[in-house]
């Protein structure tokens, strides 16, 4: 079976397999027996459900490659599992959606198989920053989806939408904020730097970071909840218990469309744009299938579908998409985003974590 998989697959084979795949889809028993399959790791819960429903069946229909989706935990638990499995030569998933920090950490142990862009022609559609590269220039991962963290408010409590992140520092908002509890997922240092020190370049030096920490300490009296779990904050935001905070633009929009009194605002300094990459574990033997999958996912049409059905922001250039202005505004914004300083979370992670914990716990 290995030799079969190592053979490069021509376009014709793919098309042929597509027809075959469509034919066998009608017969689930045969589907299970077929060789061409790919295990894809996506964040469990809403993401996995949406992908299972809206994306993977279409992919199988188009390419004949059956997808077995694996629910991955958020945080870095999945990275640890992939790493340890790879040491044993196993891959719990061939392709996984990984956060940017996890991508960089995986790079240090060469966990990701370098991708061949010649086999991913659609990669030319991507916005440059969504191609994740090894220091030597080889490609470690390709942008899968991106999402925004924005300034959210309860519309019953705040009749007017705030316009700047500086609202977090407003003394009038004492004990009213819900913020993410970790330095590496709240990106509050970046927000502080952009809002008060011009840009995230202010975080280049240790002095700059300490200045940002000092500024951030002023927010503490306004924070009622430091949350790790999204549900913790979302419920309180909807009820007005905690009427302001940082949260995900897509989920807030979804809640607003269901009639909850919440709104998501892109502050004038920009929303925080975080993203996930598709990356291939070095223990995986499904290199060809993985390239086909990543290429498929990088098509503008698929990215548009993701925006419409899953609510993620596209990783391909705006002009290639057929999204209407309203559809685009629902998932993104033309205001220049704040891009997290992922490099800091690998080079200074322990120092940042220690300072951060002392800041919020102490």
Partner 1 sequence: MKREPPQSIADYGPLFFPAGMLLIFFVVPFGTMIAVSFFQRQEGGFYTPAFVFSNYERFLTAFFGGVLGFSLMLAVTVAICCVVLALPFTYLLSRLTRRLQVIWLVALLSVLSLSEVIIGFAWSTLLSRTAGLSNLLVKIGLLEQPVALFPSFGAVPTGMVYQALPYTILVLYPAIVRLDPTLMEAARTLGSSPIRAFFNVLVPALRNTIMATLIMVFIFALGSYLLPQILGRPQHWTLSVLITDQAIYQSNMPFAAAMAVFLVLVTLGLVALTLLIGRKGEKA
Tell me which residues touch partner 1 (CB under 8 A).
Answer: 73, 75-77, 79-80, 83, 104-105, 108-109, 181-182, 184-185, 224-226, 228-229, 231-232, 235-236, 239-241, 346-350, 353-354, 357-358, 360-362
The smaller minimum CB distance to partner 1, of residues 228 and 268, is found at 228
What backbone phi and psi angles, to 5 degrees, belong to 230? -60, -40
Per-residue three-class SS string for 89-119: CCCCCCEEEEEHHHHHHHHHCCCECCECHHH
Cβ–Cβ under 8 Å, residues 298 and 120? yes
In the complex, the smallest distance separating the C-beta of residue 311 from partner 1, rounded to whole angstroms, is 24
In the complex, the smallest distance separating the C-beta of residue 165 from partner 1, rounded to whole angstroms, is 21
The smaller minimum CB distance to partner 1, of residues 102 and 290, is found at 102
In the complex, the smallest distance separating the C-beta of residue 93 from partner 1, rounded to whole angstroms, is 18
The smaller minimum CB distance to partner 1, of residues 169 and 226, is found at 226
Cβ–Cβ under 8 Å, residues 148 and 270? no
In the complex, the smallest distance separating the C-beta of residue 243 from partner 1, rounded to whole angstroms, is 10
The smaller minimum CB distance to partner 1, of residues 101 and 316, is found at 101
**DSSP structural state of residue 340:** P
The smaller minimum CB distance to partner 1, of residues 46 and 328, is found at 46
In the complex, the smallest distance separating the C-beta of residue 127 from partner 1, rounded to whole angstroms, is 25
Cβ–Cβ under 8 Å, residues 117 and 307? no
Most distant pair of Cα atoms in the chain: their distance:
67
Q: What is the DSSP string of 181-195?
A: S-HHHH-HHHHHHHH
3-state secondary structure of 47: helix
Strands 66-72 and 37-43: parallel
Quote the CA–CA distance of 52 and 42 in Å, as a whole number: 10
Dig out the tokens for 8 from the structure.
Answer: 């490069």
In the complex, the smallest distance separating the C-beta of residue 250 from partner 1, rounded to whole angstroms, is 22
In the complex, the smallest distance separating the C-beta of residue 352 from partner 1, rounded to whole angstroms, is 10
The smaller minimum CB distance to partner 1, of residues 186 and 332, is found at 186
Q: What is the DSSP string of 309-325?
A: HT-PBPSB-GGG----H
The smaller minimum CB distance to partner 1, of residues 106 and 337, is found at 106
């Amino acid at each position: 079976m290995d030799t079969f998989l190592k053979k490069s697959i021509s376009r014709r084979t793919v098309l042929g397999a597509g027809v075959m795949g469509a034919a066998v889809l009608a017969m689930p028993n045969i589907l299970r027996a077929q060789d061409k399959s790919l295990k894809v790791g996506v964040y469990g819960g809403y993401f996995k459900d949406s992908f299972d429903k809206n994306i993977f069946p279409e992919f199988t229909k188009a390419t004949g490659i059956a997808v077995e989706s694996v629910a991955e935990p958020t945080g870095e638990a999945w990275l640890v599992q992939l790493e340890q499995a790879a040491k044993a030569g196993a891959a719990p998933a061939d392709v996984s959606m990984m956060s940017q920090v996890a991508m960089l950490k995986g790079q240090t142990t060469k966990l990701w198989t370098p991708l061949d862009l010649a086999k991913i022609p659609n990669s030319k559609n991507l916005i440059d920053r969504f191609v994740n590269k090894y220091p030597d220039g080889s490609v470690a991962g390709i942008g899968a989806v991106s999402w925004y963290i924005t300034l959210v408010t309860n519309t019953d409590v705040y009749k007017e939408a705030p316009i700047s992140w500086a609202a977090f520092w407003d003394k009038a908002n004492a004990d009213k904020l819900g913020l993410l509890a970790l330095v590496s997922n709240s990106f509050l240092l970046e927000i502080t730097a952009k809002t008060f020190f011009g840009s995230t370049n202010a975080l280049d030096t240790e002095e700059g970071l300490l200045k940002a920490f000092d500024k951030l300490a002023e927010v503490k009296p306004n924070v009622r909840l430091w949350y790790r779990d999204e549900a913790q904050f979302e419920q309180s935001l909807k009820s007005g218990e905690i009427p302001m905070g940082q949260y995900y633009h897509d989920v807030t929009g979804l809640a607003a469309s269901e009639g909850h009194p919440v709104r998501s605002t892109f502050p004038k300094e920009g929303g925080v744009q975080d993203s996930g990459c598709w990356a291939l574990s070095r223990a995986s033997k499904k290199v060809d299938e993985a390239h086909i999958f990543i290429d498929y996912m990088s098509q503008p049409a698929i990215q548009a579908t993701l925006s419409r059905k899953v609510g993620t922001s596209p990783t391909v250039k705006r002009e290639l998409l057929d999204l209407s202005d309203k559809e685009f505004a629902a998932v993104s914004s033309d205001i220049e985003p704040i891009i997290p300083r992922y490099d800091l979370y690998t080079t200074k992670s322990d120092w940042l974590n220690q300072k951060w914990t002392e800041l919020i716990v102490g």
